[in-house]
Amino acid sequence: MNLLSVAWRNLMRRKLRTVLTMLSIIIGVASTFAVVASVDTAKKTFPLYLENILGKSDFMILGTEAYFSEDVHDTVQAMDGVASVAVLKESTKLVMEAEGTTEIQKRVDLTGYSDLDTALTDFKVVEGSLTEGGAVITDRTANVWKTKVGDTISLETDHGIQEIQISAIVKYTVELMGPSSWMMAKYHPWSVVVPLSDLQSWFDLSGQIQVIQVKALNGSEKEAAQRQLDALADTQDNIYMQPVIIDFETQFKDVDTFFMALYIAGFLGIALSAFVIFNSLYVSIQERKKEFAAMKTIGYTPNQLRTFVLYEVLLLSVIGTVVGLTVGYGLALLLKAVIFMLFGIHEAATIELTKGLVIAAAAGAIIPVLAALYPIRKAGKVSVIDSLKEIQTEKTSLRHWQWAAGVLLILSGFFIKNLFLVVPLLIGVALLYPYLFRLFVTALKPVYRALFRFSGEVAGRNLSRNLGRTSMTSVILCMGIAMIVLMSSLNSALIQTYERMIFSTYGGNLDVMLHHVEPDDIAKLKATEGVADAVTYPKQDIVWLVDGQKRKLPVYGVGAEWIDRFPLFTGTTGASQGEIIEQLAPNEIVLDRVSFQLWGGTVGEYIQLDTLNGMQPFKVAGIVDTMKNNGFGAFMNIEHFRESFGVKYERNALVLKEEDISPLQLRENIFGQFGSRIMEMFGPEDWVSVIGSVYTGSFGVINFLIILSTVISGIGITNTLLMNIMERIRELGMMRAVGVTRGQIVRTVLLEGFGIGLTATVIGSLFGILLIYITSTFLEIQSLTFQFGVSGTIMTIIVIFGLAVSLISSFLPASRAAKTQLSEALRYE
């Protein structure tokens, strides 16, 4: 006898049930594969990407003033073992006819390179050539401008309008970041690269540059290169050298928390499919009791009977896994693209499949077998006499250990300060669920009776039958609902917390970044219509030593007399911002909470910062909270800042607006004053929007995976109702025979399915609120905690979703029940 063939035929006896069970395995395997593969790819690619965009150079020569002499570059070029490129940046405006666009949308950041075709720029040419001496734009920009190689663009310069031919179109890159449409150009300027000499002549900056990027030709000669550059900086008092630091942890803060949440969401699918498999197999064994009994009378041993069932499970798992891996591959590609987009990674990385494939295949093979162990065991234990005499086996009552274990596991969740607390909590709720389900149904019955009369009465009674199977089906949806409640509420709470912090530490209504601030700029700014007050501040990315490693720390120079009006941080000791800054000695600094935690020291200890005089110790005088620079930085008294780091010019101005002017009008007015000198202009609402979209996008991905798992619960409800109908087919026939209409039967089945879903949605929502409460006691993202709170809108949407899933899942079984052939039903065996 071919066991596989027998197993296949047994599965085909209940085609729909087999398809639904297999579908749950497919979804579970696909989501597991997709999550592991995409996260693996991200973990491998993100550091490489950062290395790629930031690691093109090893060192930078910068000036203490806005510009320094190009002669320095000549000296660097003459050094052994290094490659270098000189860079100059200016802002200007495009002269182009584009319908419906304003002047602000034509801002252009021009970058002049002494050499366009170098490993230090590493432009990937799509069309044209980098050596022709013309302008270089990205493919994204060319698409929006509708220009090609050979076309001419016009730019406003100090010497009037200058025309330059486009000599190359390159692949979009971080150095040439620009908007993707004219609409987005309201917020971001375009980027164009030109030869350095052209830029110098257009803006009367002949022989002047701003940055020299340097790379050691050989990795082993990096130290030698650094020594040469240090020596050069020592000979000139208007330049300094900074090593290029690739700080992955700072750049991708909290990415691990996101990945952990993704893993949980991804594995939820395969875990929930285990419930569906258990239910399906269990009922199948019950239905075939007489067959097993008959086989035993022929002489089959219990193990032989178990083997029959095991082959069915193996067939289900193998087919489900193969299809699931195929679907999972597509899902992995999609997920990878979304994750990369969320983190702003523009990299066509190949997807890392191996680990995901192994884990998903193992899960697809093992979990169905584990889930089926109990039913398989039962198949071997069928009693011949009881089955042939149709003696009903005793109903199993709820076990007390189950109740106790469930409570203990839920309580344990209060002590786990980690997102993995959801695992024992979910298991605890699963164990307690039959009790909760029974309680809820008891309360539901009178409501059903009152609202739906006959159909409600019968549906209410049916919900109490097969309690084990029905509650197990319901718990799947319950878990999905709880996770969605948690993630949606986390998303909303985090964004609200961010919003509050961003607005309270932005330093005003607008932060304007100019190429460099000139002496009369502040007066001009204050005189601009709509500006109530303005102040400039210096900011520099300083190299600091953390555990012997060089990292970058943004340091802000802050004035004690204006910081209270333009708060860039909030204190943690009750003192005002002005008091905190006033009390700082020349070698003292305050760190924000994130950088403080990263450092790992205590208040009063010293950190090492790279100054004009090399690495110097600075005492950490206190901790503050800020969302400036995405919540990572340090603050010093502005006078001490200038002394320590020698930076003589500022680029940023904080602006407070008058009450009766809108943020957009303010920007227009300021742009009208300063035009193309403005490099960036952002308000707190822009950051809220960026942060909001990143977090909403991240949680959206997680919620998508959880919703996919919830589809499994819908499959479970359909499967269970179909099994219930199959078992009660004679009852259905009898009811139709005594005059119950098809419509009443349909309503009964729909109400039964709805009841399963309603119970799950209510209990799941309450469970989700518990999860929100527990996570609010420990979860920190970017050192921000969030307050416990439940949004009515979110809960309403989730409840509607849960009820919709249960109702939709009930349509097919209800339709089946209504179509029952009476004559067959009454003779059904």
Partner 1 sequence: MIKLEKVTKVYTTDAGSFTALQETDLHIRKGEFVAIMGPSGSGKSTLLQLLGGLDLPTSGSIRIGDTLLQTLNEKERTLFRRTKVGFVFQNYQLLPMMTVAENIALALAANKTPKNEIQQTVARLIREVNLEGKASSYPSQLSGGQQQRVAIARALAMKPALILADEPTGNLDRKNGEDVLRLLSRLQREEQITVVMVTHDRNAAESADRIITLQDGAIVRQAEWEGAGLR
Sites of contact with partner 1 (CB under 8 A):
453-454, 457-458, 461-462, 464-465, 730-731, 733-744, 822-823, 826-827
Choose between 381 and 453: whose C-beta lies nearer to partner 1: 453
Amino acid letter at 432? L
**Sequence-distant (≥ 6) Cβ neighbours of residue 277 within 8 angstroms:** 21, 24, 25, 313, 316, 367, 368, 371, 372
- In the complex with partner 1, the residue whose CB is nearer, 306 or 736, is 736
CB of 312 to partner 1, least distance (A): 25
**Shortest distance (Å) from residue 806 CB to partner 1:** 21
Which residues, in sequence order, are bridge partners of residue 592?
624
Crossing angle of the two packed helices 302-342 and 289-298, in degrees rounded to 10? 140
**Which residues, in sequence order, are bridge partners of residue 156?**
161
Sequence length of the chain is 829
Backbone angles phi, psi at 595, to 5 degrees: -70, -35
Residue 686 CB contacts under 8 Å (≥ 6 apart), including other chains: 187
Q: How far is the CB of 442 from partner 1 (least distance, A)?
A: 14
Q: Which is nearer to partner 1, 393 or 464 (CB)?
A: 464
Question: Closest CB to partner 1 among 365 and 740?
Answer: 740
Tokens of 460: 């209410």
184 vs 391 by CB, closer to partner 1: 391
Tokens of 98: 């584009």
Comparing CB distances to partner 1, the nearer of 732 and 784 is: 732
> CA angle, 570 as apex, 662 and 589 as ends, to 5°?
125
Q: Give Cβ neighbours of residue 469 (< 8 Å, ≥ 6 apart).
A: 279, 282, 283, 720, 723
Residue partners of 662: CB distance under 8 A and separation at least 6: none
Nearer to partner 1, 82 or 745 (CB): 745
CA distances to 90, 330, 496 from 207, rounded to whole Å, are 15, 54, 50
In this complex, which beta carbon is closest to partner 1, that of residue 50 or of residue 826? 826
Tell me if residue 38 falls in helix, strand or coil: helix
Please, what is the minimum distance in Å from the beta carbon of residue 453 to partner 1?
Answer: 7
Residue 471 and residue 279 in contact, taking contact as beta carbons nearer than 8 Å: no
> 67 with 208: CB under 8 angstroms?
yes
Output the smallest distance, CB 737 to partner 1, in A.
5
Least spacing, CB of residue 828 vs partner 1, in Å:
10
Exposed, middle or buried: residue 226 (CB in 10 Å: 0-12, 13-18, 19+)?
middle
Our CB check for partner 1 shows the closer of 392 and 602 to be: 392
Cα separation, 506 vs 524, whole angstroms: 22
Q: Which is nearer to partner 1, 463 or 678 (CB)?
A: 463
9 or 377: CB nearest partner 1: 9
Question: Can you tell me the distance from the alpha carbon of 610 to that of 226, in angstroms, rounded to the nearest whole number?
Answer: 14
CB of 757 to partner 1, least distance (A): 21
Closest contact distance (angstroms) between CB of 13 and partner 1 is 16
What is the smallest separation between the CB atom of 743 and partner 1, expressed in angstroms?
Answer: 8
**How far apart (Å, rounded) are the C-alpha atoms in residues 356 and 286?**
36
At closest approach, how far in Å is the CB of 742 from partner 1?
7
Q: By C-beta, is 45 or 748 nearer to partner 1?
A: 748
* Cα(494)–Cα(53) distance, integer angstroms: 30
- Answer for the pair 265, 705: CB distance below 8 angstroms, yes or no: yes
Query: Least distance (Å) from partner 1 to the CB of residue 736?
Result: 7
- Other CB atoms within 10 Å distance of the CB of residue 385: 8
Instruction: Fill in the DSSP letter of residue 343.
Output: T
Shorter beta-carbon distance to partner 1: residue 450 or 575: 450
Token pair belonging to 170: 């390159």
Q: CB of residue 730 vs partner 1: minimum separation in angstroms?
A: 6
Residue 461 Cβ vs partner 1, minimum distance, rounded to whole Å: 4
And the tokens for 671? Answer: 């742009």
Q: Which residue in 463, 304, 464 sits closest to 382, CA to CA?
A: 304
- Report, in Å, the least distance between residue 710 CB and partner 1: 30
Number of H helices, E strands in the chain: 25, 23
* Shorter beta-carbon distance to partner 1: residue 82 or 458: 458
794-795-801-802 Cα dihedral, nearest 10 degrees: 150
